[in-house]
Structure 1
Amino acid sequence: MSSSQTSTAKIPDDMAMLRAAAELTRDISAARGGIYWPDMLVSAVIGYGALAGAILLESPAAALACAAVAVLALYRALLFIHELTHIHRDALPGFRLGWNLLVGIPLLTPSFMYENVHTLHHARTRYGTAEDPEYLPLALMKPWSLPMFIVAALALPFALLARFAVLVPLGAAIPPLRRLVWERASALAINPQFRRRAPEGDFARLVFWQELGGAVWALALVAFSVAYGWRPLLIALCVVSAVAVFNQLRTLVAHLWQNEGEAMTVTAQYLDSVNVPPPGIWAELWAPVGLRYHATHHLLPSLPYHSLAEAHRRLSARLGEGSTYGQASYPGLWMLIGRIAKSTMRVGGKRAADNPAVIQP
């Protein structure tokens, strides 16, 4: 066992912190439709309106300004997919359907691509292991792994278009292709070893309708582009590429990525995760919908995003800055990126050579 495993995976649980997290948040645990619906709808309306401006405006400066607004607004709207994986299915009637119709299917990222995937990342015995679809020991890899991790996101919307417009229709006629697409290209995962199990029951029916909607929409986009030109679609794909890069940057700093595959205690998982609380204001742009409190989210996965700031305030006041809870707070994006980059330059090459268990992307 390496020293990093000893220092992270074997950290004992801080029971006082875990008890406080449960006790202090019982009264703020309900998802509030009066917050979810307006937030999602306003983000989507602003995003699509700005995207239309980016496509239609003749002034390059105005088009670029609209594209920037579209990236931020659509990014926020898209990140509600994270909430859909955690809130109870009956908590917000119609929200899952509404989000998929307004955001998920138009952006070719329906909720099935995260549902029953992200919850594996929160499973007590899976986090940080080879069975975690959302974990790689990025801080322990070679330095070039980080830029490759970010650049790969640029191709995501183009790959999604090909998936829904080509692979899904072909898979309906070719079962082996259908199985391959489901196992390897149906989850928002970063672990290349992850293989998705076939859907069952009600979830299989949900997948069918969402994939059908995605395929119809993707084919309509292609048909429109063939008939009227590819420029609007290419601009839209570039905007969504920027959204994907934004999300990949956020993912890069959501954790410290220091575990090499061993199961971790809840406290170790918390300390391997990141909060970027106020007074910084920019985190609300690059980590919206509560994701600036990602470590707190790992303590309280079912807590709705609009309650995380209050949960953080209560836990900080109860436990203090010098507590285990305070150790997961960091000042900002660039400091976290620099920390991971320095780690890869210091130990990545040596660990990759000495430990074949370290995953190489």
Structure 2
Amino acid sequence: MEPTLALSREAAGSADARVVQPRPRILDDKTMLRTAAELTRDLNTPNRAFYWGDLIGSAVLGYGALVVAVLASSTLVTVLAAVVSVLALYRALLFIHEVSHMKHSALPGFRLGWNLIAGIPMLVPSFMYEGVHNLHHAKTRYGTADDPEYLPLALMKPWTLPVFILVSLLAPIGLLIRFAILSPLSWLSPKLRDLVIARYSSLSINPAFRRRIPAGEQRVLFDRLDAAASVWAIALVALVATGVIPMRGFLIGLGIGSAVALLNQVRTLVAHLWENEGEQMTVTAQYLDSVNVPPPSLLPGLWAPVGLRYHALHHLLPSLPYHSLGEAHRRLSAVLEEGSPYHKASYRSALGLMHRIGRSTMVRR
């Protein structure tokens, strides 16, 4: 899933902004593109057992740990259970990325199941990503002003990075406002409804992005999911206000939600190099501006689960199911020669990537 914070592109354009040397255009490496397509043709079928088992298992663990965190009398147990809950619910939530890419006929009922299990309870229904994330993968949009999920963060001022990360802690409050207040009010005013849909119904970071008003079957699905999330948000507020849900339990849940959002924002920060200034890029250039953090590192499996540790490979083969990305990476790494651009998108750790991006923002005129 991409992030929740929008920063102005103007942060990169003032007189004291970073010096940016013109970069040569990166041409497509046709050998890499052809090899990637040919070697992975047998990996495109989603495995139902993987999807359903992974989602349900993550949700059960996450919600179960949340209950333990709320009911525990020991601070240590509360903290440990909360950590488990964050990691498990984060994994369950990130299936929104798969939902936005999959052919729903290949996994009947999975989108509905995901919304019922994770999307609606966590106030991130699938429409927050569907119809938005696919624009990030459009060859003519990636890295441009029309990309909802891109800003030249590496070229902005140094203060933008900590703000970008820390503001995500407010995401649960923002989602409650969106669904408990704005959504029901928007049903009373068509003008407000259009504004809420265009401005406050997508997980995007580009402040200039406005999503199109859905029509036909997409509008029906949007309205149903929006209404369901709104009912849940209002019920949650009412249960807390009447004392049915203790304030302590609510605050622990809110804290877990904030930690999930923070973890996702950090992952988003290191998913790309963020070095494009708005020009159209070739597929190879888009790949090289994206990041793989493959094994033997173990931690990326926690902070970039559901295949997102192979984010660059995902941009190369966006329709590949998450459980196939590891095998695809092994095949391509073995076949493509050392000089291939494919190997240049692999990095060792999130800390190294954060240091690179942070250092880039420190270069001044």
TM-score norm. by structure 2 comes to 0.93
Task: Work out the CA distance in 2 between the residues paired with 1:37 and 1:144.
Answer: 41
8 Å Cα contact 2:59/2:117 also seen in 1: yes
Listed as ranges, the matches of 1:299-318 within 5 Å are 299-318=316-335
1:295 aligns with 2:321: no
Task: Work out the CA distance in 2 between the residues paired with 1:239 and 1:322.
Answer: 44
The match for 2:179 is 164
CA deviations 1:172-215 (Å, max 9, x no partner) are 01222212111111000011111111011111111011001101
Of 99-108 and 87-96, the range deviating more from structure 2? 87-96
- Residue 173 of structure 1 is aligned with which of 188, 192, 211? 188
Unaligned runs of 5+ in 1: 351-361
8 Å Cα contact 1:273/1:295 also seen in 2: yes
- SS for the counterpart of 2:112 is helix
Q: What letter matches 1:91 in structure 2?
A: A
CA deviations 1:134-176 (Å, max 9, x no partner) are 0000000000000000011001111001110111000101222
Task: Work out the CA distance in 2 between the residues paired with 1:207 and 1:5.
Answer: 43
8 Å Cα contact 1:171/1:177 also seen in 2: yes
Task: Work out the CA distance in 1 between the residues paired with 2:211 and 2:134.
Answer: 13
Task: Work out the CA distance in 2 between the residues paired with 1:146 and 1:285.
Answer: 22
1:204 aligns with 2:228: no
Task: Work out the CA distance in 2 between the residues paired with 1:291 and 1:189.
Answer: 17
8 Å Cα contact 2:143/2:151 also seen in 1: yes
Task: Work out the CA distance in 1 between the residues paired with 2:253 and 2:197.
Answer: 25
Task: Work out the CA distance in 1 between the residues paired with 2:117 and 2:248.
Answer: 22
- SS for the counterpart of 1:321 is coil
Task: Work out the CA distance in 2 between the residues paired with 1:82 and 1:253.
Answer: 16
1:111 aligns with 2:126: yes
1:258 aligns with 2:275: yes
Task: Work out the CA distance in 1 between the residues paired with 2:149 and 2:61.
Answer: 30
Task: Work out the CA distance in 2 between the residues paired with 1:84 and 1:313.
Answer: 25
8 Å Cα contact 2:104/2:110 also seen in 1: no
The match for 1:61 is 76
Structure richer in helix, relative to its length: 1
The match for 1:346 is 363
What's the offset of the Cα at 1:3?
5.9
Detail structure 1 runs of 4+ shifted over 6 Å in the superposition.
none
The match for 1:142 is 157
CA deviations 1:214-262 (Å, max 9, x no partner) are 0110011011001114322221111010000000000000000000001
8 Å Cα contact 1:221/1:233 also seen in 2: no
The match for 1:120 is 135
**Percent of residue pairs identical:** 61
Residues 1:46 and 1:200: Cα distance change in structure 2 (over 3 Å): same
What's the offset of the Cα at 1:4?
5.0
Give the CA RMSD over aligned residues. 1.1
Task: Work out the CA distance in 1 between the residues paired with 2:249 and 2:233.
Answer: 14
TM-score norm. by structure 1 comes to 0.94
- Residue 6 of structure 1 is aligned with which of 17, 20, 23? 23
Q: What letter matches 2:102 in structure 1?
A: I
The match for 2:93 is 78
The match for 2:250 is 233
Task: Work out the CA distance in 1 between the residues paired with 2:248 and 2:279.
Answer: 48
